[in-house]
Amino acid sequence: MSGNGKSYRAALAKLDRSQRYLLEDGLRLVKETARAKFDETVEMAVRLGVDPRQADQNVRGTVSLPHGMGKTVRVLAFAKGEKEKEAQEAGADFVGSEDLIKKISEGWFDFDKTVATPDMMAAVGRIGKVLGPRGLMPNPRTGTVTADIGKAVKEIKAGKLEFRVDKAGIVHVPVGKASFNPEKLIDNAKVVLTSILRAKPASAKGNYVRGVTVSTTMGPGIKIDLSQVRAMAA
C-alpha cells in the first residue's frame, strides 16, 4: 500500500461514516485528518436543490472570508490612465491594458484573479474564450468589473471569493488552510454558508441545501448536520 493510501485510511479511521457532525466538530475533525506534507486547503462542498441548467437557478455570488485564505492571491487589473495608478496603489500584482491582453493571449496565466474597469471590457472580451473556462473573466455581477477598481483589488486581497454552483448542483468553496486554528475555520465556514443561503433563488423548490461536506485537499469528506445549516437561514 502506498504512503498516501495509508494516510487516507488512517484519516478515514477517525470518522464515523454514518454520522453527520455539527459544523464546529466537523471542522475540528477535518484538521485531524490532514495528513499531507503541505498545508492543505480546507474546502466546503454544498449540494443544492437547484437545476443549474435553468438561468434563474444559477446560484452565484461573492463572500469575504473574515480570516482570509492563508495565501497570497495574485490580482491582475485591466485598467489604464488614473485607474491604472489606483489599482497599483491598492496592491494589484499586475496592471495594464493591451499589453496584458496580448500576454494572456499568448498563454500567460501567472495570476489568480482579475478585475477590470468597464471601459476595458470590450478589449478584455477578445480573450474571454481563454479567461472564461478558467474562471478568470471579470464580471459585473461579482463586483470584478467596476469603476472603483481600487476597492475591488483590496477586497480580493483581503479574502473575497467568488462562488458558483457547478453542473452537478454543488458549490465548492475553500474556507481556509489546515494550519488555521478551528475558530478561524468555523468563522470562515459560517460566513460562506450564510452567503450561499442568502443566494437562494426564488424559483428553487423543496429543500435548498441537500448536503454539506468539509474536507482537506487529500482527506476524506466529513458530513455536516443539515438541521444546523438550515437553522442558519431562519
The model's pLDDT over 89-132, given as tens digits with 9 standing for 90+, comes to: 999 999 999 999 999 999 999 999 999 999 999 999 999 999 99
- What are 191's three cell numbers? 460566513
Pairing of strands 75-78, 170-177: unpaired
Pairing of strands 75-78, 94-96: parallel
Band (12; pLDDT cuts 50, 70, 90): low
pLDDT at site 71 = 74
> CATH says 75-157 is which class?
alpha beta
d(C-alpha 63, C-alpha 146), whole Å: 17
Residues of the chain with CATH 3.40.50.790: 75-157
25 Cβ partners below 8 Å, 6+ apart? none
In the chain, at which residue ranges do the beta strands (DSSP E only) sit? 41-48, 60-64, 75-78, 94-96, 113-116, 160-164, 170-177, 209-216, 222-223
Q: Per residue in 39-53, pLDDT tens? A: 899 999 999 999 998
Residues of the chain with CATH 3.30.190.20: 15-69+161-231
Q: Per residue in 160-198, pLDDT tens? A: 888 999 999 999 999 999 999 999 999 999 999 999 999
Residue 3 has pLDDT above 90, yes or no: no
Q: For 204, phi and psi rounded to 5 degrees?
A: -70, 130
Domain 15-69+161-231 coded CATH 3.30.190.20 = yes
- Compute the residue count for the chain: 234
Angle CA(203)–CA(209)–CA(214) in degrees, nearest 5?
Answer: 145
Helical axes 182-198 vs 23-32, angle rounded to 10°: 130
Share of the chain above pLDDT 70, in %: 92
Residue 143 has pLDDT above 60, yes or no: yes
> Do residues 68 and 159 make contact, with C-beta atoms less than 8 angstroms apart?
yes
- What are 90's three cell numbers? 491598492
* Alpha-carbon distances of 170 from 9, 19, 197, 198, 200, rounded to whole Å: 26, 21, 13, 16, 13
pLDDT at site 8 = 59
